[in-house]
Amino acid sequence: MNMKRKRDTLGRRIFIMFFACPMIFLFLCQSLFTQESLSILKGPYLQNVTSNSIVIMWETNIQGTGSVIFRDMKGNTQIVTESKPKTIHEVLLSNLPSGLRFSYQVVTKTESGAVKSQEYSFRTVPLKLEPWSFVVYGDTRSNPSIHSKVIDQILKEGEHKPAFLLHTGDLINNGSVYECWDGDFFKPGKELFAVTPLWPCLGNHEQNSEWYFKFFSLPNNERWYSFNYLNAHFIALDSYSDFKPKSEQYIWLGNDLKSCKSDWIFVFFHVPPYSVGRHNAVDEKGVPVEAEVKNSRLYLDPLFQKYKVDMVFNGHNHFYERSLKEKVYYIVSGGGGATFHDKECINQYNQVFKRTYHYVVCDINGLNLKMYVKDIDGNIIDTLELTKSKMSTMPH
């Protein structure tokens, strides 16, 4: 029996030495060489800029501790670091001087290594009035090659270089699908979003997804919010949250408009109250089929007229359209990449309709506004000029 046990023990040792150990060694080698390397998946991109702060965001494939290294034009360098490891990084830079340009770079570190972005720049909001511009576009979903062309054309803007971007919703085809966010949106917009702050609003294709709220850092509850830039006030609304009277959004909007003292007021949300597009179809009684269209006509337009909103920017219909109802211009900018829609409905307020991919540039110089709409070849397809007679008190 003892001899048999010894032979069994010897056999197990031989098996481990010649078969098990090499297999374990091979497995460890494979794990070592196939281990995913740290990389930046999205960004960096700029969010929630004010006169003294900005949020910089980016995503990495592995959890790590993120830092932003930034310096002013004199070379004075500062570093802000996150308190814990993350994959979606959101770093607030605060106590900054107004109207100054900074260079910046993001870095993510793990126990096994680090990754850093190239160097970009941002500018805080100035307090002293000066000529400035912003860009509006939307419905970038489903066609990243066209979205890329829109982005490339915006990057070519010289004297119209935007201080920030407004997006009218439907950033991606399916907000619940993680992969859509990179393919439809962040990858085509990478170089622009790294140097130009982005202010989005929710469209139906975002599907109220958690990814929207993870990938953006916005004021208030992030569904509806407002911000100032010099002598203009901007309001983002959510077409798919209740905005009937007595609703939270409606009350907030009324209070926000009532307290606004800016020279210019702009509102943006996804669904247009007035348009020739398919989403503005009406039934046999002339009532809009889509509840969001009907309710925006009933409840939002009266507020816009009462508080003298200058322009409302929408998407949802995939083309460019300009309408004027009483004193408010309604601009549909839904030509960022999604398949075109046709002119299918009657809009008695319509002034201009263009079935083309495009973006909108607004240049503001005090009480003068010039709007240019450009296609992806840089051709101007519409212009509008507005002048006001009285300036409000600055700053806000």
| Domain CATH code at residue 145 | 3.60.21.10
Burial of 309 (0-12, 13-18, 19+ CB in 10 A): buried
- pLDDT at residue 390 in the model: 75
Q: CA–CA separation, 108 vs 40, rounded Å?
A: 8
- pLDDT at residue 9 in the model: 53
CB 57 within 8 A of CB 90: yes
Domain boundary among 92, 123, 154: 123
Tell me, yes or no, whether 145 and 271 share the same domain: yes
Q: Is residue 344 part of a domain?
A: yes
Q: Which amino acid is at 378?
A: G
Tell me, yes or no, whether 107 and 157 share the same domain: no
Q: Is residue 301 part of a domain?
A: yes
- pLDDT at residue 391 in the model: 64
CB 164 within 8 A of CB 200: no
- How many CA atoms lie less than 13 Å away from 43 in the CB half-sphere? 30
CB 124 within 8 A of CB 105: no
Q: Is residue 351 part of a domain?
A: yes
Domain boundary among 88, 123, 158: 123
229-230-232 Cα angle (round to 5):
65
Tell me, yes or no, whether 107 and 155 share the same domain: no
What pTM, to 2 d.p., does this model score?
0.90
Tell me, yes or no, whether 46 and 181 share the same domain: no
Query: How is residue 102 written in tokens?
Result: 């900074």
Query: How is residue 2 written in tokens?
Result: 């003892």
CB 329 within 8 A of CB 310: yes
Q: What is the b/e burial string over 11-38, where b = at least 16 CB atoms within 10 angstroms of the residue's CB?
A: eeeeeeeeeeeeeeeeeeeeeeeeeeeb
Nearest to 370 by CA among 159, 138, 150, 149: 159
Tell me, yes or no, whether 119 and 231 share the same domain: no
Q: Is residue 21 part of a domain?
A: no
- pLDDT at residue 28 in the model: 41
Tell me, yes or no, whether 297 and 356 share the same domain: yes
Q: Which amino acid is at 320?
A: Y
CB 352 within 8 A of CB 382: yes
Q: Is residue 138 part of a domain?
A: yes
Which regions in the chain score pLDDT beneath 70?
1-35, 391-396
Query: How is residue 116 written in tokens?
Result: 């850093």
Query: How is residue 313 written in tokens?
Result: 């920017």
Domain boundary among 95, 123, 151: 123
**C-alpha distance from residue 352 to each of 135, 174, 324 (Å):** 19, 30, 10
Tell me, yes or no, whether 156 and 242 share the same domain: yes
Domain of 75, CATH number, reads: 2.60.40.10
Tell me, yes or no, whether 74 and 205 share the same domain: no
Tell me, yes or no, whether 65 and 214 share the same domain: no
Q: Is residue 44 part of a domain?
A: yes
Number of domains in the chain: 2
For residue 87, what are the domain limits? Answer: 40-123
Q: Which sign, positive or negative, has the C-alpha torsion 45, 233, 324, 291?
A: positive
Tell me, yes or no, whether 44 and 183 share the same domain: no
**C-alpha distance from residue 333 to each of 81, 273, 323, 361 (Å):** 38, 13, 12, 11
Q: Is residue 195 part of a domain?
A: yes
Could you give the 3-state DSSP secondary structure of residue 4? helix
Tell me, yes or no, whether 94 and 159 share the same domain: no
Tell me, yes or no, whether 146 and 268 share the same domain: yes
Q: Is residue 141 part of a domain?
A: yes
Q: What's the length of the chain?
A: 396
Residue entry with tokens 């109207």: 99
- pLDDT at residue 7 in the model: 52
CB 18 within 8 A of CB 168: no
- 3-state SS of the chain: helix, strand, coil percent to 5? 25, 35, 40
